[in-house]
Every structure is written in structure tokens, then in C-alpha cells.
A and B are shown apart, each in its own frame.
Chain A
């Protein structure tokens, strides 16, 4: 298919435009000529302006001595000076026949007017009229160009040509704003009655800047007696009223009380505000009631001004009005202002509120804050509601409430938040920033532990519990790879994974419905020991051990096989008879777990070979018994040099610590069954299975050791399991 003819047929209009190439040169020449003309025009204008400027400068230089001679000529001068003066007068009149010279002379006099004062200026004004330069200014008033008219008005005004007043005032209502403003200024400047004429006849608006300039002219006028500006308060021109109010305030004309009060009802808010400022300025007490009536329809700015005025001219009788505002006004700023004004009218009528603490630190109910807030017989202000606490937070406060003396639970309980009293101890509040961080963490951890434990124990319903089962299903399931079962059970890696997978479920067997929700699945509680008095009310009969784990589920309900030990198997601590042994036991367990934490383990992981050797030397020098297990792990290090060094360190350390048979034989380590009765078997860590199984994967073993440290109940639970089944 041939596309090209079709395309050209369909889109025949897409063609290259035909250009008359023979005209291109003519167009180029045309535009080049226009450009040249344009540039020449610019140069010509520029040179013309420069030449005129230079001519004016030269004229000024020539006219300067003449003007000085005219200005400072004294009739009692000597004959020579008089001759010079007359000769110069003739000369200057000849010069002024040229329009440019007249214009230059006007400019010179206008400039000098700015630089001289006193009698020199008066002579300057006189010279301007003597030389009949003001006639040129009058002629400018008839021009159709607004800038010439404005310039003429300016020259006549600045040179104080008073006779120009009737000619200028007709421009007051000129539709051209520049001329109108210039005429207003000239009218006010030339004659004293100019301001009255201006206010009487001004039909257009008077801007605020213009008002200020007019006021400045009046202010600089000498021996000026201002008219009573209240007569212009009835003007239909809003700006005239505003200007009159401004003038009334400036000249302190306090004879317009009735008119000012009436203006409070003006529909224009600016006029209302200006009238209010006048009332405040002159302390018109009779305006208080109209001011209060004005309040309801006012905007915020005007309301604040009203409150300011009431505070300035009001008395204690306005407290009721202000009280209503402080109570019911929707605007916070107005309420605050009303309170401030109340205190202004009657000191201490509103006292500062009690400083509120953070919601997280203060769980006092709102009514308690209200009770602490000072109440005034004249006013009960709505105190700020405390920040609404989240329901969960409030509930947690309840949950934290211990059912036993706190001193026995946690010795440092007085240094933490007291959920029952709802306050923190003073020394805690004061030294909050100086307390070591680990103490805070420890306290928080203990509180969480107590919360969970109390929740479980108090919410336990014996009727719902299966016989002989301690409801410790929140504990992770630990599988102890006992020597006999090690082969049949899963590998330690698998055990670790399985143990993490069986996360503690929410306390579904805890009867308290509300507290059940607060059990966090990720919460890892401490091991609970049994209170001596079986006041928990559940049977201690040991259940049937789980048949197998994790391959086959038990025969009974699912929760039957989750607990890993029974309550009666737990060790009986010495202080178990005091009723609350579990917490002390838990604390002790934790401390013992930390005793097996070697600080060198973590350092050792990140070091190179040389540093590891140095570290081993340090262990040899300062190491303790807690490094024993770590050193045996180092024996498996792939670096033979490190393993050899670890062997030496073990021997030296065993010799130094008095550990007999502290050689490299792992079988020499005390097994749980070999532990003496005096030692607490709860925390006899059993490292042998891990070290045996992890010979080929030391990094895995190290990470597991860290996890063991973070979850110190794991080795203990393994140990207990081993004891139970062994």
C-alpha cells in the first residue's frame, strides 16, 4: 500500500509556507532602519535631557549670587552694594523673560526653601512673588495635565502664596486623586480655616496617610486655634468622621460626649472603635452601659477594646458583666481578657489556677483538681479541664494498684509513681532527671511484672481451673534437652525456634474479663513461685506431664500440655512463709541470672584475633566465675590460637578461683543433679547441651547465649525440667 500519496492527500495543509525570498532583504533593511531610528531617538532624548540638566546647573550657578543678593539685600547698605543690587535686578528681569530661566529660578527657590529657615525663608517667599514667578504657577493650574496642575499647586503652597487659596480649594473634590490630595494639603496649609473647608466639602474619602499629613500640617502651624471638630461627627463622609475623631483626640476636645456615645451605634466598625478610643481617652463613665450593649455585636478586636475601656473607666459594678463573659464567652481570648479586667477592677478577684501536671504524671480525677482550685465567693470560674486521659492509661493505674504493702514488694517503690495516691513522691519529682536510667528501667519492669502477676493471681477462678494445673500459660514453653531425650528431641536450634513460636497467649483462663485485655502477648513475665499459704485456692496435684512435644499434641485440652512444671515443684525459698515470697524469689532469680552474664562475651564477638587474645589475657587477670562458661565456648573458636589461649586462661582462672578440675573436660561441670542442697537449684544454668550441639556454629551459639541472658528464666526452666524428668 502506498501511504505517501494518501498522507499528502489527507494532510495537504501541512506544507512548508511559501516565503517570498526576494522580500527578505527588504524586510531586513526595514527592521534595521527602525532599530537605528529607535536608537537614535534614545540617544537624542538622552542628550537632550543631559543638556537641559547641564543648562539648569549652569543657570543655577549664575542665579545663585543674584538670589543671594536679593535675599540679603539691606536697604541701609552702602552705595556700592545698592548699585550692585539695582544692576542685578535689571539683569535678572531680563533673564526671566526666557521661560527656561523662569523655570530654573522657580526650581532654585524651591530648593532653597528646603535648606534655609528663618528670615531667609521669608525673604525667599517674598522674592518668589516679586519676580512674579507665582503667575507661572497659576497658569499651571489651568493645565489639563494632572502633573502640571499638581506642580502648580505645590509651588503656590510651598511659596506661601496665600492669594492662591480660592483657586486651589476648588480642586478639593477633583476626581484625580493626586490633585485632590495636593489641594487638600494646600487648603489646610495656606489658611487656618482651610481645615474646616476641607472637612465641610470633602466628598471623596480621605486616606489615613492623608489624614496624618493634614494633621502634621496643623501641628506645625503656629498660633493655631483649632475649631470644635465635633461638628463634623455628623458628616455623611465616613472618613471625615474618622478624621474628626482623630482630631478630637489629638486636640483633646472633650465636649463631644453625647456625640461620641451616639457614634457607638454607628454601623461602621472603624468609627465605633475610634469613638470608643475617644471615650476611653476622655474617661466618659456615662458611656459604660452603651459600651456593654455594644459588646454582643462586636468583633474580637472591638471586644478587646471594650474590655480595655471597661478596665480603664469601669468600677466593681462591672464585675457581673465581666463574670458572665469569663464564664460563657466562647472566645478564649475574651475570657482571659475578662478575667484580667476583673483583676484590674478588683484585685485578686480571680486568682491563678493550680498548675496542672502532665496527664502521664498525674492521674488525679478532674474533681480533685477542682477542689484544689481556689474559689472566689464572687465568681466560680470554669477551671480548665485536665487533659483527658486515655481509658487504657486509667485502667492501667487501677491494675497497678497492689493488694499488698509496697514496701515488701519493691523496696524502692517510694521512688516511683504511686497509682493509689495518684502522685509521685516529692523526691522522685525533684530528682527525676538525676536518677540513673537503669533504675528507672528496673522499676518499670518490676511494676509491669507485678501488674501481670497480680492480674493473673487475682483473676484466677479455681472453679474454672483444671485440677492440679497452675495457670502459668503465659510462660513460654521450654523444652529441656535432657541427656536421655536429647537424641529423640529436636535439635537446640529447633527448640529455640519452637519456644519462640509458642508465645504466651492472652490469659484466656483468667476470669477477670476486663483484665484479660491487658495481658500483652509480647510480655515476658518472670517465673512465679508458689506462696506458702495456698491462698490461691487451686490444687497442687501435679498434672500428667506432656506426652510429647512438639510432635504430638496431648490428649487433654490444649492448655494442659502448655505448662512445663507444677507449682509444688518450684523451690521453696527461705522467706516463703511470709505470704509474698514470689516477688522476692523473682528478684533473686533475676540477680542470679545476671551473675552468669559475662561482659566479655559481647566484646569478644566484635574483636579481631589480636584483640581477642588481649581480651583473654584480661579475662585471665580479672575474670570471675561467670566467665567460665564463656571461656568454654571460646574453646570452640575456629582460630587455633584463640582456642589454645582460652585453654590456658581456663586453667589459670580455675587455679586462681580455686575451681578444682577446671580443665577442659566438660563433663566435669556440675550437673543439676550434682548440686548441693545448700545452693539454690533454680539457677544452675545448664550450658552443656548448647555447647555440645553448637560446635560447628559458634556464631549461632553466641546469639543464643545473648538471648538466654535477655530471658534469664530459660536456663532456669530448662534446669527445672531436667530435674523434674530426670
Chain B
């Protein structure tokens, strides 16, 4: 059975590594992107099954990424936004752009897995 392709856009190397490790252990195939440009390159190359993106990234924010996916590429791929505390307005903007869910820092990997499985309807590993 093919693994679910997940694109993780996070500029914090340690957190990205930690989440990648946890997600891979949960059965996902994870691609890492450190900034918005890499995200767009990866998306243009191959559209993942789901995207987990930090809301604050270099070159392209999570909101812009959602806008790019929805309005320019016309993709309906599920997107989970990782937001920081106190950025509720940004989360609302992301939802208006078409984001599907959000999770706030500090991130609980277990909670993230639950949200991913809920969006993808895949069994929790």
C-alpha cells in the first residue's frame, strides 16, 4: 500500500526534523521544505496528498501558499496550518483562503497525527 505523501513546510529545522521523524514513523512519506519557494517547487513538481505548513515562512507565508494552491493551481489538497499563539487573525485569513485545519505551537505530534488522519480518513497508526 502506497504511503500518504505529505509535504511539511517548516523553517525551524529541529521541529521539522522532529515532526518528520514522527510522521514517518506514523506511515507518511514526508517531504521537507524550509521556505515558500521550495514548497512551490515541490508542489509544481508533484502535488502531495496533504500539506502541513507553518504560517510564517521565508519568501511565502502559509496564507500565500494556500492562496497559490487554491486560486492559481486550483488544487483542493488538504492543508493544515501551523500557527503561533496570538496569530488568530492570520489563522482566520488562512481559513478564508481555503485552509482546512490548523494546529498551534507548541505542536503536539500526537495531535497533529489525529488531525491528519481525520482529514485523510486514514487509520491512525
Show the binding face of A for B, using Cβ within 8 Å: 60-61, 64-65, 67-69, 71-72, 108, 111-121
Shortest CB-to-CB span from B30 to chain A, Å, is 12
Contact A115 B107 (CB under 8 A): yes
B14 is contacted by which of A69, A108, A119, A120 (Cβ under 8 Å)? Answer: A108
User: Which residue among B13, B14, B107, B111 has the maximum number of chain A CB atoms within 10 Å of its CB?
Assistant: B14
Contact A61 B110 (CB under 8 A): no
Shortest CB-to-CB span from B13 to chain A, Å, is 7
Residues of B within 8 A of A68 (CB): 17-18, 20-22
A64 is contacted by which of B13, B107, B110 (Cβ under 8 Å)? Answer: B13
Contact A111 B14 (CB under 8 A): yes
Contact B109 A64 (CB under 8 A): no
Shortest CB-to-CB span from A590 to chain B, Å, is 73
Q: Given that A68-B22, A72-B22 are contacting pairs, would A116 and B13 also be in contact in the complex, using a CB cutoff of 8 Å?
A: no
Contact A64 B106 (CB under 8 A): no
Contact B108 A118 (CB under 8 A): yes
Contact A120 B13 (CB under 8 A): no
Q: Does B12 sit within 8 A of A, measured CB to CB?
A: yes
Per-residue A-contact encoding for B56-98, CB less than 8 Å = 1, 0 else: 0000000000000000000000000000000000000000000
Contact A60 B18 (CB under 8 A): no
Q: Given that A72-B22, A72-B25, A115-B12 are contacting pairs, would A65 and B108 also be in contact in the complex, using a CB cutoff of 8 Å?
A: no
B106 is contacted by which of A67, A71, A72, A116 (Cβ under 8 Å)? Answer: A116
A121 is contacted by which of B12, B20, B22, B106 (Cβ under 8 Å)? Answer: B106
Contact B108 A64 (CB under 8 A): no
User: Which residue among A69, A115, A119 has the maximum number of chain B CB atoms within 10 Å of its CB?
Assistant: A115
Tell me the complex Cα distance, A108–B14, Å. 8
User: Which residue among B105, B106, B110 has the maximum number of chain A CB atoms within 10 Å of its CB?
Assistant: B106
Contact A116 B108 (CB under 8 A): yes
Known: A108-B14, A116-B109. 17 other contacts (CB 8 A): A60-B14, A64-B13, A64-B18, A67-B14, A68-B17, A68-B21, A68-B22, A69-B21, A72-B25, A112-B15, A113-B106, A115-B105, A115-B106, A116-B108, A117-B106, A120-B109, A121-B106
Tell me the complex Cα distance, A65–B22, Å. 10
A115 is contacted by which of B14, B21, B110 (Cβ under 8 Å)? Answer: B14
Contact A116 B18 (CB under 8 A): yes
Residues of A within 8 A of B17 (CB): 61, 64-65, 68
Shortest CB-to-CB span from A78 to chain B, Å, is 11
Q: Given that A60-B13, A72-B25, A115-B12 are contacting pairs, would A67 and B109 also be in contact in the complex, using a CB cutoff of 8 Å?
A: no
Q: Given that A60-B13, A61-B13, A72-B25 are contacting pairs, would A117 and B108 also be in contact in the complex, using a CB cutoff of 8 Å?
A: yes
Tell me the complex Cα distance, A117–B25, Å. 18
Q: Considering only CB atoms, which chain A residue lies closest to B105 in the complex?
A: A115
Q: Considering only CB atoms, which chain B residue lies closest to A116 in the complex?
A: B106
Contact B14 A112 (CB under 8 A): yes
Shortest CB-to-CB span from A113 to chain B, Å, is 8
Q: Considering only CB atoms, which chain B residue lies closest to A63 in the complex?
A: B14
Residues of B within 8 A of A67 (CB): 14, 18
Tell me the complex Cα distance, A67–B14, Å. 9
Residues of B within 8 A of A71 (CB): 18, 21-22
Contact B110 A120 (CB under 8 A): yes
A-B contact pairs, 29 of them (CB 8 A): A61-B17, A64-B17, A64-B18, A65-B21, A68-B17, A68-B18, A68-B20, A68-B21, A71-B21, A71-B22, A72-B22, A112-B18, A113-B106, A114-B105, A115-B12, A115-B15, A115-B105, A115-B106, A116-B107, A116-B108, A117-B108, A118-B109, A118-B111, A119-B110, A120-B18, A120-B108, A120-B109, A120-B110, A121-B106
Task: Tell me the residues in window 11-39 of chain B with beta carbons closer than 8 Å to chain A beta carbons.
Answer: 12-15, 17-18, 20-22, 25
Residues of B within 8 A of A65 (CB): 17, 21
Tell me the complex Cα distance, A61–B25, Å. 19
Tell me the complex Cα distance, A219–B107, Å. 21
Tell me the complex Cα distance, A69–B24, Å. 11
Residues of B within 8 A of A113 (CB): 106
Q: Considering only CB atoms, which chain A residue lies closest to B109 in the complex?
A: A120
Tell me the complex Cα distance, A68–B16, Å. 10
Shortest CB-to-CB span from B102 to chain A, Å, is 15
Residues of B within 8 A of A61 (CB): 13, 17
A117 is contacted by which of B12, B20, B107 (Cβ under 8 Å)? Answer: B107
Residues of A within 8 A of B108 (CB): 116-121
Residues of A within 8 A of B20 (CB): 68
Residues of A within 8 A of B25 (CB): 72
Q: Considering only CB atoms, which chain B residue lies closest to A60 in the complex?
A: B14
Q: Considering only CB atoms, which chain A residue lies closest to B111 in the complex?
A: A118
Tell me the complex Cα distance, A115–B18, Å. 10
Tell me the complex Cα distance, A60–B18, Å. 12
Residues of A within 8 A of B109 (CB): 72, 116, 118, 120
Contact B21 A118 (CB under 8 A): no
Q: Considering only CB atoms, which chain B residue lies closest to A61 in the complex?
A: B13
Shortest CB-to-CB span from B5 to chain A, Å, is 20
Shortest CB-to-CB span from A92 to chain B, Å, is 15
Shortest CB-to-CB span from A372 to chain B, Å, is 55
Shortest CB-to-CB span from A131 to chain B, Å, is 16
Nearest 4 CB-CB pairings of A with B: A118-B108, A68-B21, A64-B17, A117-B106
Shortest CB-to-CB span from B124 to chain A, Å, is 14
Tell me the complex Cα distance, A117–B106, Å. 5
Tell me the complex Cα distance, A118–B12, Å. 19
Residues of A within 8 A of B12 (CB): 115
Tell me the complex Cα distance, A255–B17, Å. 53
Residues of B within 8 A of A118 (CB): 108-111
Tell me the complex Cα distance, A278–B67, Å. 52
Contact B21 A72 (CB under 8 A): yes
Q: Considering only CB atoms, which chain B residue lies closest to A120 in the complex?
A: B109
Tell me the complex Cα distance, A64–B14, Å. 6
Q: Considering only CB atoms, which chain A residue lies closest to B26 in the complex?
A: A72
